[in-house]
Structure 1
Amino acid sequence: MDELEFLKKDWKRQEADLPKISGDAIYKMIHKRSSSLMKWILYVSIFEFILWTFINVLTINNKTWESLRKIHLFEFEIISVLLQYIVLGFFIFIFYKNYKEVQTTDSTRHLMNRILKVRRTVNFYVAYNLILMFVVGLIVFFAMLYFDPEFEKIMITADDGSQSIPLGFIALFIGGLLLLVFMLWLFYKLLYGILLKRLKRNYKELNKLELRD
Structure 2
Amino acid sequence: MIDELDLLKKDWQKRDEHLPKLSFDQIHSMIWKKSSSIVRWILIISILEFTLPHLLYLIPSFNKNMEIYDKLGLHNWIIGITIFSYGVAFYFLFQFYRRYKEICVLDSAKSLMKKIIRTRRTVKHYIIYSLSMIMVIVILMIIGVYLNDDIFSTFSGLKDKAQNVSIEKIKISLMIGMGIMGIVLTAVMGGIYFLLYGLLLRKLKRNYNELKQLEV
Matched-pair contact (CA < 8 Å) for 1:65–1:74:
no
CA RMSD of aligned residues (A): 2.9
Which residue is 2:208 aligned to? Answer: 203
SS of the residue corresponding to residue 72 of structure 1 reads coil
Which residue is 1:149 aligned to? Answer: 151
Question: Distance between the aligned counterparts of 2:140 and 2:127, measured in 1?
Answer: 20
Which residue is 1:4 aligned to? Answer: none
Is 1:194 the counterpart of 2:199? The answer is yes
Q: TM-score, normalised by structure 2?
A: 0.76
Question: Distance between the aligned counterparts of 1:127 and 1:199, measured in 2?
Answer: 19
Deviation at 1:174, TM superposition (A): 2.1
Q: TM-score, normalised by structure 1?
A: 0.77
Structure 1 residues not aligned, in runs of 5+: 1-7, 158-162
Question: Distance between the aligned counterparts of 1:155 and 1:137, measured in 2?
Answer: 24
1:43-58 matches, cutoff 5 A: 43-58=44-59
For residues 96-125 of structure 1, what are the alpha-carbon distances to aligned partners after superposition, in whole Å with 9 as ceiling and x for unaligned?
111111122411111011001111100110
Structure 1 runs of 4+ off > 4 angstroms? 151-157, 163-172
For residues 46-85 of structure 1, what are the alpha-carbon distances to aligned partners after superposition, in whole Å with 9 as ceiling and x for unaligned?
1111112213443653x44543222111122222222222
Which residue is 2:39 aligned to? Answer: 38
Kindly tell me: are residues 92 and 165 of structure 1, through their superposed partners in 2, closer, same or farther at Cα, counting changes over 3 Å?
same
Structure 2 residues not aligned, in runs of 5+: 1-9
SS of the residue corresponding to residue 51 of structure 1 reads helix
1:64-103 matches, cutoff 5 A: 64=65, 66-103=67-104
Deviation at 1:169, TM superposition (A): 6.0
Question: Distance between the aligned counterparts of 1:60 and 1:169, measured in 2?
Answer: 20
Question: Distance between the aligned counterparts of 2:66 and 2:110, measured in 1?
Answer: 52
1:106-117 matches, cutoff 5 A: 106-117=107-118
Give aligned pairs, total: 191
For residues 6-29 of structure 1, what are the alpha-carbon distances to aligned partners after superposition, in whole Å with 9 as ceiling and x for unaligned?
xx9xx8xx99xx98x522111000
Question: Distance between the aligned counterparts of 1:169 and 1:144, measured in 2?
Answer: 7
SS of the residue corresponding to residue 141 of structure 1 reads helix
Question: Distance between the aligned counterparts of 1:49 and 1:164, measured in 2?
Answer: 38
Q: Could you tell me the percent identity over the aligned residues? A: 35
Question: Distance between the aligned counterparts of 2:91 and 2:131, measured in 1?
Answer: 17
